[in-house]
Amino acid sequence: MTSAIEKLKTRLLPYREQNAQPTVSHAFNYLQRVIAQLERKVDARAVKMVPPLEKRRQAIARLRAGEMPKPFEWKMIFFGLNDVAEGDLFEIALMDDATNFARIIAEIEQKIAQRRLTRREWLALCTSYFGHASDTPEKNPQWLQLRTQIAHGFQQLKESAPRQMSWMSVIDTYSDIFTDNAGFLLGQQLGRGEITDISVLEKVAQIPQTSWLWRKIVNHLINEIFRQNDDDFQQKINSLIALSRQLTRFKDNILAATLTRYYQSAFKHQTHFELKQLALEYWGNPQLTSRNKSWQVHVENPVLLMVQGWFAKDDLKLFFELLKGNRDVDHARLFYWLRFANQMSYTRIVLGEEALRSKDADYVEFRAKNAGRLSRLQGSGSRDNNAMIMRIGDYLFVEFSKVGAMYAYHMGNAPFNPETGILDIDYDLKDKRNNRRKVRLRLPHLSPVFRYSLNRIEGWMSRYDEELRKLGIDYVAEDVNQPSVTLDASRFNASKTVSRPEPASLPEHEVSDAKSDREEQTNIIASALKAKKELPGREQQIREVIRSVDCKVMDKRGLGGAIHIQFNEPDHEAAQKLLSLGFKPVLGKFTYWSK
């Protein structure tokens, strides 16, 4: 009998080895969804509203009177460690009351030791920990004691739980929020674009929008921005723009740091349209003297000049391309004035009636994007004409879309205010009111030029250069290899000294003498029109995202609106791609939009 059993064992052994790792044949997807829903309901109950102030005050009063608070009152006290009666200049919060705080710590320690600390009580402690009204809470000894007990309490909750809850995993991941290095990991991940949604941690740890933690996170984020090389930084710019809209309290810090880091890059002379529009939205037009002080609160003068140059280049491109007259001459004028764009602190386009009323899509978009930066041209011959006003140094220069002559005025003696909403073509811009007595220069575009480059200036361009030189204005090349001015990053409130990498050098290309001047001219103009050429590539990338996910698309850009993409299921990779393309999130709806 024994031998028969042994034989059976031998025959069954191979099957046993094949099934040594038992597997579940069913994934229990429905059950998993039910469990997830229950977890969310439990979490929602745990993070309910903070108890009313009156109840918290009653519990705190009992503690300060030397009485023993009732068991349910400890939770009220834990929530109210920062409470101070409104208008009472002499009351101090429990967080600053060492004597009574010692009793609170003793109660917390006892609860943890006896494994009685509940999640609601732990969250109450977190509310007071993150709600302490100071950007340097580590200087408060009571706050440091509270931090230690919160960390111990979390361990007790984990050990008491039958299994790891989802909120515990979040706290485990970002456990540095209960250390001296609070916010480091979050700031680093946000700076690298590894995460975009910060609402989960905000909920599970009861972090208010006004918490000191956000300041520390932003400080670490800014440090990360300045540590990145040019390539990494360039890929993260649109994510930083989206983040500035989420963290509205620190939007100025994030934008200022992003613009300053952009200035230190090798591509600082290339206009970043989303950054430019965001800066215009947050801080106003940098070309207006009345706005300069507001800008200089956030960024240093070299950064301001960079953005002013962006506006000048874009205005020149729009004026000579969209509002063009004779195409060849306009390209020549575009080339000429682009050489001085990096010195232009102000530009303004003055539109004639046709350009103001045109329903062409390009004109509609142009007027919408430049709302508040345009004036109206009136007077004889203004209907199909337009003007461009440029400030270089102490002088205003006026060009017209119809080829004629350029007018120049000294700022202190100009016959018009360039910011005026309506300007007359003759009496204001050509100074016929004063018989042109205030005109400093009137230079016609004679001697047409067809071959021109940075190394070959001839015809009317040469004459212009001579006259501008007499006004103290010389052409200054944009040298991308020239190191940027060292800037002070301490204005961003970073907690550590920011290390600023040297701008990456672009490879030097030998330009052979055989290369035609026309090719060089074309390249320079093409760089100013770079955005126009990049649009198809962006559209292709948007289409690829749409094809890769299950989503709904509403595109009203042709009517002057925006494109909205709504995911039917969340998709982190696709969301990251849209953010990198300049899309903005609609919180809680898996929806992203862009103009």
Domain-embedded: residue 10: no
- Count how many Cα atoms sit within 13 Å of the Cα of residue 280 in the half-sphere of its side chain: 17
Half-sphere exposure of 425 (CA within 13 A, CB side): 22
Total domains in the fold of the chain: 4
The number of angstroms, rounded, from the C-alpha of 450 to the middle of its chain's C-alpha atoms is 42
pLDDT of residue 28: 59
Claim to verify: residue 460 and residue 313 sit in the same structural domain: yes
DSSP readout, 208-271? -TT-HHHHHHHHHHHHHHHHS-HHHHHHHHHHHHHHHHHSGGGHHHHHHHHHHHHHTSTTTTS-
459 with 346, same domain: the answer is yes
User: Where do we find the tokens 């490879």?
Assistant: 507
CA dist list (Å): 64 to 55, 126, 173, 537: 14, 22, 38, 67
Could you say which of 299, 315, 330 is where a domain stops? 299
**Strand, coil or helix: 527:** helix
Residues 312 and 412 in one domain: yes
Question: Of 293, 222, 217, 216, whose CA–CA distance to 255 is shortest?
Answer: 222
The tokens describing 256, both together, are 């200022």
Any alpha helices (H) in 343-403, and if so which ranges?
Answer: 353-357, 361-369
Task: Say yes or no: 288 and 308 in one domain.
Answer: no
Going by C-alpha positions, the residue among 463, 445, 470 that lies closest to residue 332 is 445
Same domain, yes or no: 282 and 308? no
Same domain, 293 and 360: no
**Whole-number pLDDT of residue 441:** 95
Question: Residue 419: inside a domain, yes or no?
Answer: yes
Segment-wise mean pLDDT, segments of 10 residues, the chain, 595 residues: 63 60 54 58 54 91 93 94 76 91 96 94 94 89 96 94 88 91 87 75 74 89 90 91 88 93 92 92 86 83 92 90 61 90 93 91 86 91 93 95 92 93 95 90 86 84 94 83 54 43 38 44 45 57 81 73 81 80 75 84
Give residues with Cβ within 8 angstroms of 504, minimum separation 6: 229, 230, 231, 265, 266
Q: Is residue 15 part of a domain?
A: no
Q: What is the pLDDT of residue 563?
A: 86
User: Which residues contact residue 515 at a Cβ distance below 8 angstroms, ignoring those fewer than 6 apart?
Assistant: none
327 and 397 share one domain: yes
User: Is residue 504 domain-resident?
Assistant: no
Could you tell me the CA-to-CA distances from 271 to 147, 267, 288, 365, 584 in Å, in that order?
46, 9, 19, 18, 20
Whole-angstrom distance, CA of residue 573 vs CA of residue 586: 17
Structure token digits, residue 207: 């972090």
Q: In terms of domains, do 349 and 467 share one?
A: yes
The Cα–Cα gap between 314 and 347 comes to 10
What distance in Å separates the CA atoms of residue 587 and residue 580, rounded to the nearest whole number?
A: 17
Task: Judge contact between 85 and 128, C-beta under 8 A.
Answer: no
- Nearby residues of 345 by Cβ (< 8 Å), 6 or more positions away: 287, 305, 308, 391, 392
Is residue 35, in this structure, part of any structural domain at all? no
Q: Are 269 and 304 in contact (CB under 8 A)?
A: no
| Sign of torsion over alpha carbons 199, 205, 208, 212 | negative
**What confidence score (pLDDT) does residue 297 get?**
86
Q: For the whole prediction, is pTM greater than 0.75?
A: no
Using the Cα atoms of residue 325, residue 326, residue 331 and residue 332 in order, give the sign of their dihedral: negative
Q: Are residues 348 and 473 in the same domain?
A: yes
Domain that holds residue 414: 304-477+521-528
pLDDT in the model for residue 531: 38
Q: Both 428 and 336 in a single domain?
A: yes
CA distance 73 to 56: 8
DSSP state of 494: -
Three-state DSSP state, 374: strand
Beta bridge partners of 348: 389
505 within a domain of the structure (yes/no): no
Looking at 238, 266, 299, which one is the last position of a domain?
299
For the sheet containing 563-567, what is the strand order? 551-555, 563-567, 591-594, 584-586
Does residue 317 lie in a domain region?
A: yes
Spatial separation of the C-alpha atoms in residues 283 and 294, rounded to whole Å: 7
Same domain flag for 320 and 434: yes
Q: CB atoms < 10 A from the CB of 505, how many? A: 10
Is residue 98, in this structure, part of any structural domain at all? Answer: yes
Please tell me the predicted confidence (pLDDT) of residue 77: 95
**CA-to-CA distance for 48 and 3, rounded, in angstroms?**
68
- Pick from 299, 332, 349: which residue ends a domain? 299
Q: Within this chain, do residues 446 and 588 fall inside the same structural domain, yes or no?
A: no
Instruction: Give the closest residue to 409 by CA, choosing from 400, 397, 418.
Output: 397
